[in-house]
């Protein structure tokens, strides 16, 4: 990450500093440069981020790797100019028979597998799980801020069986991207230089 040796704590501090610099430079892009420059910069930033996240995920769980995507945020929801979203289940997700959350096509393996609908299990883990129950939503309504209400677990009438809990299987996305913030910062600064040169023409 750096050109000189650091302790583990030093590496964390250095990554945090790079992350803050990255945020500061993105804000500069959004405020000072044309929209087309900002969108190109953020697109390259997002594509690199996706590669970094996928590099931490084993190839055997292809449903998770394919669910890591990015997209430009809609202008009407962007307060500060062009923005992108990067992460798990972002953008249009295409399910195939081998990756859908279902017991079909799993060749006798237990469980439901991973896809965009349950990818959060990989990064966050699960609570205690039981067969014969399901979660239902009560009250609230869905709006721009997401669904608001409460979730409750109810019986389905089928036999109950405790299935344990799954701990997180992968590194949190924010940790991965913070660790790569030095490289991401270089991308943003490159596009700032491109914008300055175009303004001087």
Report, as an integer, the average pLDDT of 159-167. 83
User: Whole-angstrom Cα distance, residue 113 to residue 34?
Assistant: 44
Residue 107 pLDDT: 63
pLDDT band at 60, cuts 50/70/90? confident
Residue 97 pLDDT: 38
Token pair belonging to 80: 């500060």
pLDDT band at 47, cuts 50/70/90? very high
Highest mean pLDDT among 73-77, 109-113, 147-151: 73-77
More confident of the two residues 38 and 116 = 38
Residue 157 pLDDT: 82
Residue 14 pLDDT: 53
The sign of the torsion formed by the CA atoms of 42, 48, 50, 52 equals: negative
pLDDT in tens, 149-158: 677 778 888 8
How many residues appear in the chain? 201
Is a pLDDT exceeding 60 seen at residue 1? no
Q: Cβ(122)–Cβ(89) under 8 Å?
A: no
Nearest to 35 by CA among 94, 96, 82, 88: 82
Is a pLDDT exceeding 90 seen at residue 44? yes
pLDDT band at 109, cuts 50/70/90? low
pLDDT in tens, 2-21: 333 434 444 455 566 777 88
């Amino acid at each position: 990450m750096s050109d000189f040796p650091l302790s583990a704590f030093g590496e964390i501090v250095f990554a945090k500093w790079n992350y803050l610099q990255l945020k500061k430079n993105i804000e500069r892009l959004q405020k000072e440069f044309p929209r087309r420059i900002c969108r190109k910069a953020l697109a390259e930033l997002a594509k690199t981020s996706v590669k970094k996240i996928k590099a931490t995920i084993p190839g055997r769980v292809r449903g998770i790797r394919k669910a890591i995507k990015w997209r430009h945020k809609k202008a009407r929801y962007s307060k500060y100019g062009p923005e992108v979203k990067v992460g798990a289940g972002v953008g249009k997700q295409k399910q195939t028979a081998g990756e859908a959350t279902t017991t079909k096509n799993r060749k006798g393996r237990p469980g439901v597998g991973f896809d965009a609908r349950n990818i959060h299990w990989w990064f966050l883990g699960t609570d205690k799980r039981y067969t014969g129950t399901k979660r239902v939503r009560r009250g609230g309504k869905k709006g721009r801020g997401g669904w608001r209400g409460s979730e409750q677990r109810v019986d389905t009438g089928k036999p109950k069986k405790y299935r344990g809990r799954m701990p997180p299987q992968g590194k949190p996305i924010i940790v991965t991207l913070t660790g790569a913030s030095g490289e991401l910062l270089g991308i943003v600064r490159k596009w700032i230089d491109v914008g300055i040169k175009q303004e001087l023409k």
